[in-house]
Structures are given as structure tokens and as C-alpha cells.
């Protein structure tokens, strides 16, 4: 069974008469157009042959000892593959680059970031993190690239990200079932002395204690607007019983009867959700709650207006 990372130790796969050149091209075609010096040597390419190809421009260096072959498409994935080949066995795309590959909403980076277990000199082409180990349980594969899995990625992000972005990413991973609280707690125990884990541990404790994670990226943004404006942490998904039924409120401002409902287009654009959402809002209003709908566009473009309206609502209840 071949290593999905396509690293060192690839043997010839063609017929006996295949040239080293053809063998190298075959390997590179499986690695986003890149090949290492060590791989090329193993396929019968001499150092002189490698030097000749570099001099002619048929191969071009991407990382020390890792080359791009002529005709391959220059992509971010090619850079990531080259980084993995350079990093050697035990390397994995990690941190912000991993979050982008895994699909976390807040990450759209095109930087190269990886963790390595071996000794590697600093590189201008990549952000390199030296780690003691990357066991298989902490890894996954995306587009043929070795990537830290969601749980490990969150632990890594805790060391480099602000608290708001980290909390939104934790909520998203739980919402999309990429991880669980149990997995996060185990990972935190293994990483007890890693930088940033205190903030992540506090988040997990709140969630284990009953605080509901945000159910959408919009809810995460709403929470950040409230925090930036100096409001106390809202109560999420507070249950209220109305006419024999159970209703949940997105955000309840503590000590008030003011509710903020996050209304994102993706969740409220169809008839199937539109009517139930309006019935839920009316039912909450019947119990004396003031419901403020905060849409994605308003949160993005005019958060100050929303905060001002919230202050007005508080003043109307004698709480301003």
C-alpha cells in the first residue's frame, strides 16, 4: 500500500526500459508536479542530471532539495505538496493552512504552514512549527495532502489566534461534527503545556458546563459585536415555554427580557424556515420579550447601528 503523502522511498514503477526522466515525471504527476532530489536519485537520476535540468529551467527549486517540473501548474496545493516533501516523514500541513484546507469559514489563507517532527532549518517559503510527534490519529488527508485533523488544528490555532476567531472555529467544528467536546478534552490533556491551550480549555469548560455553541457563523459574529460593545456574555439558546411548546432564543441579554435573533439568509431564506421562525418570534414576544432581528448584512456593515438600537431597547425597559 502506497503512502498517500508520496514521500521518500518511491521505487521505479514502469517497464525495465523506462528512463529515469520518465520515472521522475510519473512520481511528480502524483505530487502536484514536484519531486525531491532524494526521490529522483532513487529513480536513477544522477546529481549531474538534476543539475542539468535545473540549469535548463526544466526543473525549478521550490524548497531546498525539492523541485517543480516544467509544465506543471503553479498552485497553492503545489506549494503545500513541496513543503510536505521537504518536511519529510512526520510532516503535516497545519495551523491556518490546515484550517483553510479543512474548510473553516474564517480561513482563506494561501500561505504555507506546516508542522514537522524532524530537524528543519527556517524557511522563507513556509511557516514551520517543530513538534515532538504527529500521531496518525491527529492527521487526515485533503486533496492528497497530509493535514492535521480538526481537533489537532484547533489546539494548534489556540497558540496563534485571537480568542474570538478561536471560539468561532470551535463552535463551527462542533456544529459541523468535525470534533466533539470529548475529543477536545483529550487533546487538551495531551497538550497541557502548549502555548494558548488555557484559552481553549476555558472555552471547552464553558461548553461542557452547558453553554451552547454558536449554531452559525452569523451567531459567532453577533457574539463578537456584543462583546466589543461591552455587553455581558449573552445566554445562548435559552429555553422558554410558550403555549405548551418549547422555544429557543438565540441570545438573551442577561438580566433583561431583550432577545437578539440572528437571521442569516442561508437559514431563513426558504418558506420552510421563514414561517416557523416568525411564529417562534411571535411566541417569544407574547411572553413579554423584546426581539431584535440582526441580519448578516447589518452585522457586517453597520454593527454600530445595531448596538445603538440595543441601547435604545434597554433604555425603554429602564435599563439603559
**Residue with the larger pLDDT of the pair 121 and 148:** 148
pLDDT of residue 192: 80
Q: What's the mean pLDDT in 299-318?
A: 88
Q: For 173-210, how does the pLDDT look when each residue is reduced to its tens digit (9 = 90+)?
A: 998 999 999 999 999 988 888 888 899 998 898 887 66
pLDDT of residue 289: 83
Residue with C-alpha cell 411566541?
283
Domain ranges of the chain: 20-75, 90-211, 217-316
Separation CA 265–CA 250 (nearest Å):
16
Contacts of 46 (CB under 8 A, 6+ apart): none
Do 229 and 307 meet the contact criterion of CB atoms below 8 Å apart? yes
Q: For 79-104, how does the pLDDT look when each residue is reduced to its tens digit (9 = 90+)?
A: 999 999 999 988 999 999 999 999 99
17 pLDDT more than 60: no
5 pLDDT more than 70: no
Which residue in 105, 131, 128 sits closest to 195, CA to CA? 131
Residue with C-alpha cell 429557543?
248
217-316: which CATH architecture? 3-Layer(aba) Sandwich (3.40)
Contacts of 271 (CB under 8 A, 6+ apart): none
The pTM score is 0.70
Instruction: Retrieve residue 117's grid coordinates.
Output: 517532527
DSSP class of 194: S
pLDDT of residue 243: 61
Contacts of 38 (CB under 8 A, 6+ apart): 8, 65
316 pLDDT more than 90: no
pLDDT of residue 8: 38
Which residue in 124, 146, 145 sits closest to 134, CA to CA? 146
Which residue in 288, 293, 260 sits closest to 274, CA to CA? 293
Amino acid at each position: 500500500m502506497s503512502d498517500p503523502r508520496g514521500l521518500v522511498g518511491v521505487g521505479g514503477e514502469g517497464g525495465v526500459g523506462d528512463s529515469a526522466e520518465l520515472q521522475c515525471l510519473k512520481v511528480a504527476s502524483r505530487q502536484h508536479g514536484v519531486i525531491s532530489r532524494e526521490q529522483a536519485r532513487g529513480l536513477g537520476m544522477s546529481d549531474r542530471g538534476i543539475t542539468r535540468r535545473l540549469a535548463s529551467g526544466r526543473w525549478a527549486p521550490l524548497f531546498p532539495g525539492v523541485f517543480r517540473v516544467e509544465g506543471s501548474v503553479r498552485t497553492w496545493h503545489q506549494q503545500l505538496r513541496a513543503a510536505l516533501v521537504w518536511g519529510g516523514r512526520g510532516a503535516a500541513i497545519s495551523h491556518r493552512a490546515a484550517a483553510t484546507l479543512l474548510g473553516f469559514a474564517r480561513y482563506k489563507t494561501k500561505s504555507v504552514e506546516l508542522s514537522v517532527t524532524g530537524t528543519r532549518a527556517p524557511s522563507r517559503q513556509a511557516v514551520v512549527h517543530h513538534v515532538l510527534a504527529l500521531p496518525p490519529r491527529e492527521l487526515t488527508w485533503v486533496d492528497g495532502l497530509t493535514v492535521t485533523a480538526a481537533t489537532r488544528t484547533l489546539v494548534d490555532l489556540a497558540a496563534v489566534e485571537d480568542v474570538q476567531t478561536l471560539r468561532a472555529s470551535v463552535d463551527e467544528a462542533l456544529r459541523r461534527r468535525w470534533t466533539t467536546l470529548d475529543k477536545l478534552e483529550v487533546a487538551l490533556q495531551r497538550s497541557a503545556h502548549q502555548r494558548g491551550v488555557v484559552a481553549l480549555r476555558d472555552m471547552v469548560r464553558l461548553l461542557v458546563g452547558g453553554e451552547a455553541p454558536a449554531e452559525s457563523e452569523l451567531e459567532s459574529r453577533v457574539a463578537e459585536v456584543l462583546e466589543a460593545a461591552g455587553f455581558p456574555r449573552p445566554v445562548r439558546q435559552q429555553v422558554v415555554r410558550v403555549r405548551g411548546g418549547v422555544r429557543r432564543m438565540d441570545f438573551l441579554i442577561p438580566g433583561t427580557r431583550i432577545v437578539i435573533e440572528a437571521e442569516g439568509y442561508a437559514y431563513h431564506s426558504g418558506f420552510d424556515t421563514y414561517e416557523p421562525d416568525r411564529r417562534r418570534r411571535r411566541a417569544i414576544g407574547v411572553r413579554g420579550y423584546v426581539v431584535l432581528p440582526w441580519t448578516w448584512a447589518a452585522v457586517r456593515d453597520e454593527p454600530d447601528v445595531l448596538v445603538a438600537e440595543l441601547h435604545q431597547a434597554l433604555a425603554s425597559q429602564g435599563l439603559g
